[in-house]
Amino acid sequence: MFPLPADLACPAATPDSALSVEIVSAGDFGTTWEMVEGGGQTGPLSLPLLVGIIHHPDGTILIDSGLGKTTRAGTWPRFPFNAFDVSVPEGAAIVERVPNPLKVLLTHNHYDHIGGLFDLPGVEVWTGIDDLRGGRFPADLRKLVTFVGKDLRDGVVGRVLGVPAIDVQGDGTVWYLGTPGHTRGAASVLVRARERQYLFVGDTAWVDHHLVDKRRPGLISLIIDDDHKALDASLDWARWMYANCPDLAVVAGHEPTRRP
């Protein structure tokens, strides 16, 4: 376990908030339990590509974009990821639900979280500055949408829930949080909605089991996680939130029970 920050605390309730939240699946990823967690369940598994939809007075804000029409057409993802079992059923692409979002807040830059951006030309897309500098966004996507790199380091921005944070709309309702590890610029999103509060942790945890006592298998983590020490710290933080904040919905990036 990594030492948790001294200012860690559960977010306060916001009964007067004007925000509401939906969680939808913008595609599916076929895999097995053995590929997702070390020990425990076995057998085939279909993971949803979860997207948060924030209904804010300023406009609709998305958390990630899942996959989109380019996957349905067979042009995204590209080699070698096009060998994976992914699908986007009719009506599941995020553009078919939210054609004109105000902005998109990315938790990280992996293909299954950014594919839906191809359907949203011109949209403003927030990403951790280290992910923007990492070169993983394809050149044609960089020309299509407006990426805004955010520096989520201590001393550069303030702190919320014990981690570096930026107030997205300036009203304290949506916060972009620095939780690196899965990628060097990985982020989480806190939403202080009317019905309850939500913490989208992206792929810091794929499934709820990761928020309790399971981890990605070692070889899988070695391949896909950028900074293992930072990931350990971010995962410990997410686990603390999951265990200690009953009024906070902690949303793992691909938890099957979150599929609508």
Structure tokens at 252: 């793992």
Structural domain contains residue 11? no
* DSSP labels, 95-162: GGT-SS-SEEE-S---HHHHGGGGGSTT-EEEEEHHHHHTT-S-HHHHHHSEEEEE---BTTBEEETT
Q: Encode pLDDT of 62-98 as tens digits.
A: 999 999 999 999 999 988 888 889 999 999 999 999 9
DSSP annotation of 78 = P
Residue 17 CB: number of other CB atoms within 10 A? 18
Furthest-apart CA pair in the chain: how many Å? 49
Provide the residue range defining the domain that includes 172: 20-258
In a domain, 94, yes or no: yes
pLDDT in tens, 28-64: 999 999 999 977 789 999 999 999 999 999 999 999 9
Give the residue-averaged pLDDT of 252-260: 96
Query: In degrees, to the nearest 5, what angle opens at C-alpha 164 toward C-alphas 228 and 168?
Result: 120
Is residue 253 domain-resident?
A: yes
CATH of the domain at 33: 3.60.15.10
> For the chain, what is the domain count?
1
**96 CB burial (10 A radius; 0-12, 13-18, 19+):** middle
